[in-house]
Amino acid sequence: MQTILIVTGASFDLAALEGALATSGLSLLAVSRADSALNAVRAGGVAMVLLDAAQAGSSSYELCSYLQAASAAPALPIILLTPAGGSDPAERHEEELRALAAGASACLRLPFSTGAVLEQILAHLPAPRTADELHASIAQLRQLRLADVASHQHAEALREGQNQLLELVARGAPLQTTLDKLMLLIEAQSPGVLCSTLLLDPDGRTVRSGSGPSLPQAYMDAIDGLPIGPVAGSCGTAMYRKEAVIVSDIQADPLWAPYREIAARYGLRACWSVPVLLDSDTVLGTFAMYYREVRSPSAGDMRLIGVATHLAGIAIARTRHEDELRRHRTQLEALVADRTAELRKAKERAEQVNDELATALDNLSMTQDELVRREKLAALGALVAGVAHELNTPIGNSLMAAGTMADRTQALRTAIAAGAEQAELDAYLDQAAQADDIVVRNLKRAAALLHSFRAIAVDHDNSQRSRFKLAQLVASLVPALQAGAKQTAVEVELGIPGHLELDSYPGQLSQVLQALFENSVAHGFDGRGRGNVRISASLNGKGEVALVYADDGKGIAPEHLGRVYDPFFTTRRGTGGSGLGLYIAHNIISSVLGGRIKLASEPGQGAAFTLLLPSAAPL
């Protein structure tokens, strides 16, 4: 993994930069002092330096040259992080030239984003396998002995042109502009030379025109698209061989046999071509020098070719890398756009489904309300019918007894008028006593039924609400329950923790337990004379108290389990049961206490009622 060294005393977001570098297979090393930076570079492994201008020394940025000298690599890419500075373009231009002359590869001005820094790093490190070669190219260019190339004037012009070209590359200028400037720069160094750069097509088989500002445009058009190969002139052959091809006399060299006529048409006699390589296996293009006379290259010419090839390689590699980044960015934007469109469609579908569900829910709510209304009406009708049926028997018996006594009274009056004897009077009194007993018993039964009916209309009076200990309430209720079971001895076992509290209605809860107890006595323990009841409670983890009432009575037949809470349902009709006890208990639990009741029973195994009650009853 390549290491990027950042030298800064400022508070950059190093964590964000380190994360961004990690996605590209790079690591980050941060130091704040110049000596630490030099030691890190000397230790090796540093592929690039991000240098804060404030740490670079004076306006000459001498730390750049120190870092270059400390590096074991031929050249060390350095990106200078400069402050925003003034708005004068000339000043900024001069500052960037000083940085490039001092050994910096590029300048990046504040403020900048992590993405901008990463883009600059990737631009100067096109790939791990080519970084050293590009750096070596830059170092070789800086260390050329310009005095050996031409005169001092040419050397200064070459140095200045080189810096300008590097600046164009750093600024991301169009490749055509950079290559044209490079061709003109080299042509200015050698009188009579005509320079060109050809690019290898992405298909890897044909050449494409890159730059040839001094060559006839018709010639550049003629060679555009020609195939590379072992006999393809100087440039096509150089790309094919991946090595320099020097042709001193085009008309005499067999490599130019297919293209001699084209060259002669435009007066070209010599062509020296060198491949521009990204690495030993990847050809980017060629740089070529043409002459209008037969000519072989001198040592100075070869140096110029080296300068031009390196500069062209830097520019082409940078452009290819930017094109690749642009292509990836375009693909990413297309993917994001497609994904956004899919999400938008999904959102629209979800909203449509949500609207449909809302409509369905409204319809369901209306249907439920209608069903509840109908069920209430049906329940009311059944209740009224039951009330009429239950009251009809005691009232009918009372009316019959009263009617009989009215007839007997009239008969007695007639008998008295006729001189009735004492025996007739005694018989009348016996019949009157029997009728009186019938009337009293039936009226008491009617009164008890009316009392049960009142219990159906559950009282919601909040004055009856209180916070109470469940164990204390049940314990205080047990003696009264046992006393009410006159014909049956019932043992009651309690298993309720003392800490359980309810904020509820103790009176209504007591009424429920009484109804359950009376149901056990009347049905479960019928004919036995004794029975056992266990009342226990616990928290169920859902904020509810599970109160379990269980007896060891006869149990309930399976066909009756679904009807035990129906009003007036009883298996002992005619023996005093009204069939309202469990109905009233269910009504109290579900409405006043805000809970639920569950029943588990098998014949001969007793019955267990589980009351699930909220710790705080609804208001």
Span of 100-104, 287-291, 515-519 with lowest mean pLDDT:
100-104
Amino acid of residue 208: R
What length does the chain have? 619
Average pLDDT of the chain? 83
Homologous superfamily in CATH for domain 174-297: GAF domain (3.30.450.40)
Q: Which long-range contacts (CB under 8 A, 24 or more apart) does 297-305 make?
A: 297/246, 297/272, 300/148, 300/149, 300/150, 300/190, 301/190, 301/272, 303/144, 303/148, 303/149, 304/149, 304/186, 304/189, 304/190, 305/244, 305/272, 305/274
Q: Identify the DSSP state of 464.
A: G
Q: Give the model's pLDDT for residue 145.
A: 38
- Cis ω for the linkage preceding 111 (within 30 of 0): yes
Q: Is the pLDDT of residue 40 over 60?
A: yes
**Other CB atoms closer than 10 Å to residue 534's CB: what's the count?**
16
SS3 of residue 70 by DSSP: helix
Which CATH number is 1-143 given?
Answer: 3.40.50.2300
State pLDDT tens for residues 103-146: 888 888 777 777 778 877 877 775 544 445 445 544 544 444 33
Lowest mean pLDDT among 167-176, 331-340, 424-433: 424-433
Distance CA 61, CA 261 (A): 54
Q: What is the pLDDT of residue 110?
A: 73
- Look up residue 430 and give its two tokens: 């016996």
Residue with tokens 């500075």: 85
In this model, does residue 80 exceed pLDDT 60? yes
Candidate ranges 153-162, 313-322, 334-343, 488-497; pick with highest mean pLDDT: 488-497
Q: What angle do CA 134, 136, 140 make, to 5 degrees?
A: 120
Claim: this prediction has a pTM higher than 0.75: no
DSSP state of 227: B
Q: What local confidence, expressed as pLDDT, does residue 14 receive?
A: 82
Domain coordinates of the chain in residue numbers? 1-143, 174-297, 327-456, 462-614
Give the pLDDT band of residue 577 (cuts 50, 70, 90): low
- pLDDT (tens digit per residue) in 405-459: 777 788 778 878 777 777 777 777 887 888 777 777 777 766 666 665 555 554 5
Contact call for residues 307 and 186 (beta carbons, < 8 A): yes
The amino acid occupying position 165 is L
Asked if pLDDT for residue 150 goes beyond 90, the answer is no
Tokens linked to 552: 């060891």
Max mean pLDDT among 213-227, 309-323, 357-371 falls in: 213-227
What confidence score (pLDDT) does residue 131 get? 45
Does CATH number 3.90.550.10 belong to domain 462-614?
Answer: no
pLDDT digits (tens, 9 = 90+) for 211-261: 999 999 999 999 999 999 999 999 999 999 999 999 999 999 999 999 999
Out of 336-345, 366-375, 527-536, pick the least confident.
Answer: 366-375
Give the span between the Cα atoms of 493 and 535, in whole angstroms.
6
Show Cβ contacts of residue 227 under 8 Å, excluding neighbours closer than 6 positions.
205, 206, 207, 236
* 607 pLDDT above the threshold of 90: yes
Task: Determine the pLDDT at residue 197.
Answer: 96
- pLDDT score for 130: 46
**Beta strand ranges found along 8-115 (DSSP E):** 26-31, 46-52, 78-82, 106-109
pLDDT at 141: 46
293 pLDDT more than 80: yes
Residue 568 makes CB contacts below 8 A (sequence gap 6+) with 386, 389, 390, 578, 579, 580, 583
Position 426: which residue type?
A: D
DSSP-derived letter for residue 228 is: P
Task: Specify the pLDDT at position 170.
Answer: 81
Average pLDDT rounded to a whole number, residues 287-302: 93
Q: Write down the pLDDT at residue 440.
A: 75
Rounded to the nearest 5 percent, the helix, strand and coil shares of the chain are 55, 20, 25
Coil, helix or strand at residue 161: helix
Helix (H, G, I), strand (E, B), or coil: what is residue 396?
helix
Proportion of the chain above pLDDT 90, given as a percent: 35
pLDDT in tens, 502-529: 999 999 999 999 999 999 998 899 888 8
Q: Which of 78-87, 136-145, 610-619 has the highest mean pLDDT?
A: 610-619
Contacts for 146 with CB less than 8 Å, ≥ 6 apart: 154, 155, 156, 158, 159
C-alpha span between 48 and 50 (Å, rounded): 7
| Closest-CA residue to 302 (of 294, 310, 293) | 310
Identify the pLDDT of residue 616: 92
